[in-house]
């Protein structure tokens, strides 16, 4: 199922319908705008607990010393830095991101942290990855899939570049499960978050889009079915924080 719905040739950009060909450019503008304030953005969107989600995401991944790992939408390098501790000196990490500004922030941060060995930085589109089949033991994507125009294509590409037995892991904002919490979450997302974006980053519109993009992202069961349709096996998901986010897992057979 492609994200293109409604009128032919259109897709969602937040709550707006835009031509499919324009979404990548519009999303790129959002992330170029927020690249320097990305941690602030995640703190605002998650009430500060995105760091705990990311640590759990990596800690529960099936990764070993010496593995070759691709972190898509790797952006500012938070996931890659955590993965580096697990793959060790013999492992390889490829940070892939479609946005050059985000990738530069990530590279600079890695250099500042002293992480200069075992990393490769590749500007790439998740819908058409520039890697051979069966290249990676693990592919991760944290808070990036909802911004991809054709999510099905990205999931197929993830499956393609995984080695047999390799694992795909997606960490993404999802559908809140507790009914009592939904109005609170909506108020935070649509009233508080854009104001925080305006106050701290001078960019309310980008933060408004990010809140809307969460609501347009496939909920847990639907994304699980999409991963299965992309060719991944033993797919499952685990809700965290009442379903604000979910970890999705699948394997290459």
Residue positions forming the annotated binding site for S-adenosyl-L-methionine = 76, 97, 125-126
Alpha helices in the chain (DSSP H): 20-34, 38-46, 50-59, 78-87, 100-112, 151-161, 182-187, 193-201, 204-216, 220-229
3-state secondary structure at position 232: coil
Report in angstroms the alpha-carbon separations of 245 from 141, 143, 170, 180. 13, 9, 10, 17
For the chain, first and last CA: distance in Å?
22
HSE (side-chain half, CA atoms, 13 Å) at 35: 22
Binding-site residues: 76, 97, 125-126
CA-to-CA distance for 76 and 55, rounded, in angstroms? 15
CA-to-CA distance for 71 and 86, rounded, in angstroms? 14
């Amino acid at each position: 199922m492609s994200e293109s719905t409604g009128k032919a040739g259109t897709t969602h950009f937040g709550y707006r319908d835009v031509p499919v060909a324009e979404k990548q450019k519009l999303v790129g503008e959002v992330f170029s705008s927020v690249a320097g304030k990305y941690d602030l953005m995640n703190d605002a969107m998650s009430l500060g607990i995105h760091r705990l989600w990311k640590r759990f995401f990596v800690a529960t991944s099936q990764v070993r010393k010496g593995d070759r790992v691709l972190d898509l939408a790797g952006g500012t390098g938070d996931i890659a830095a955590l993965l580096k501790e697990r793959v060790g000196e013999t492992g390889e990490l490829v940070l892939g991101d479609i946005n050059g500004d985000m990738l530069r922030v990530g590279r600079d941060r890695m250099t500042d942290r002293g992480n200069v060995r075992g990393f490769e930085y590749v500007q790439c589109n998740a819908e058409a990855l520039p890697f051979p089949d069966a290249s990676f033991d693990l592919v991760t994507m944290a808070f990036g899939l909802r911004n991809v125009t054709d999510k099905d294509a990205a999931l197929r590409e993830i499956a393609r570049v995984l080695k047999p037995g390799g694992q795909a892991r997606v960490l993404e904002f999802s559908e809140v499960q507790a009914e009592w919490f939904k109005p609170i979450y909506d108020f935070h997302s649509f009233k508080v978050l854009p104001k925080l974006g305006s106050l701290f980053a001078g960019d309310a519109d980008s933060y408004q889009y990010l809140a809307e993009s969460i609501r347009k992202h496939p909920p847990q069961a639907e994304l699980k079915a999409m991963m299965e349709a992309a060719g991944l096996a033993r797919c499952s998901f685990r809700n965290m924080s009442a379903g604000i986010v979910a970890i999705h897992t699948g394997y290459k057979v």
